[in-house]
Amino acid sequence: MLFQVRMDVHIPLDMPVETANEIKAREKAYSQELQRQGKWRHIWRITGQYSNISIFDVESNEELHNILQGLPLYPYMNMEVTALNRHPSSIREDDR
C-alpha cells in the first residue's frame, strides 16, 4: 500500500540545541534504515519549510501508523496522510 505523508516539524524554541541535535540524529538513522528496507520509498524537502513529503510502501494502515509513531521527531510533528492508488490514465506500471 502506498501512502503520501506530509510531515511538518515544530521543535520547541526552548529545546536545548544538544537535545534537538540528538533527536535529529536518531531520526536520520531511523528514516535511513526504513529507506534501506524499501518501506520509506521517497522523501522530499519542501523548500523554505521544516517539512517534507514522503512516500511509504507498507503492508497496512497499522504498519504505517507504527512506523510514524516510531519517529523520534513524532511528538513535534503535524502529519497529513493520504492513501494512494494507481491512476488508470498512468502510462507507467510502477512509480518511476
C-alpha 80/C-alpha 8 separation (Å) is 9
The amino acid present at 78, given as its one-letter code, is N
**Per-residue confidence (pLDDT) for residue 96, from 0 to 100:** 60
Q: Is the pLDDT of residue 3 over 80?
A: yes
**Per-residue confidence (pLDDT) for residue 90, from 0 to 100:** 87
Q: pLDDT tens-digit profile of 17-68?
A: 999 999 999 999 999 999 999 999 999 999 999 999 999 999 999 999 999 9
76, 30, 82, 90: which is closest to 56 by C-alpha?
82
Fold for the domain defined by 2-84: Alpha-Beta Plaits (3.30.70)
Is residue 68 within 8 Å of 79, Cβ to Cβ?
A: yes
* Helical spans, DSSP H, in the chain: 17-36, 61-69
Is residue 72 within 8 Å of 7, Cβ to Cβ?
A: no
C-alpha 73/C-alpha 10 separation (Å) is 9
**Per-residue confidence (pLDDT) for residue 86, from 0 to 100:** 86
**Per-residue confidence (pLDDT) for residue 93, from 0 to 100:** 79
Spans of all domains in the chain? 2-84
